[in-house]
Chain A
Amino acid sequence: DQQVKQNSPSLSVQEGRISILNCDYTNSMFDYFLWYKKYPAEGPTFLISISSIKDKNEDGRFTVFLNKSAKHLSLHIVPSQPGDSAVYFCAASAVTGGGADGLTFGKGTHLIIQP
């Protein structure tokens, strides 16, 4: 039961160009979404998040867009840099008000930035 889907296992982008990573979800109870970056043998590193009351959130080179009607979000990285090469995970939570809600992760997209 894949409630969070990242359909592209890998993505190759030239340095300096825009990287666009996509994520779809099926659970309409999800209302908080996060992107994490992960290098091999390390834990996920938080990048950026968005609440369902917004459709866009920007932090430096990273922008996350949320389309609630389509149950789709995307992460844009502009410009892409070699250090951005990593696995990117989309995650979601259904904040039920009790706190401490577990995140549901996608399978990840391996982003490769070509020099």
Chain B
Amino acid sequence: SQTIHQWPATLVQPVGSPLSLECTVEGTSNPNLYWYRQAAGRGLQLLFYSVGIGQISSEVPQNLSASRPQDRQFILSSKKLLLSDSGFYLCAWSGRMYEQYFGPGTRLTVT
């Protein structure tokens, strides 16, 4: 069966510091991968998606970036965090089925 991991689970970072969040999927190959941010108000915002290694599509221009160095690894990064980057970050994957499956999330607080 497939599983998706995210780490860290929680993170507190000062403004201006760098960020690296990691997501890995097990039990499938060539998944589509997604990064979402969920603000306190609950809505989901798609940040990036990837259909293959090195292929990244950005949905929202901002100070975040994503990379996919391996088939089942998806990384969200920032060089300098802003207060507005605080939120709950969710990674998801999809295969030949239509639905997406989500990881447990990372709670990021920028202070």
Partners in one complex: no
Residues of B within 8 A of A (CB): none
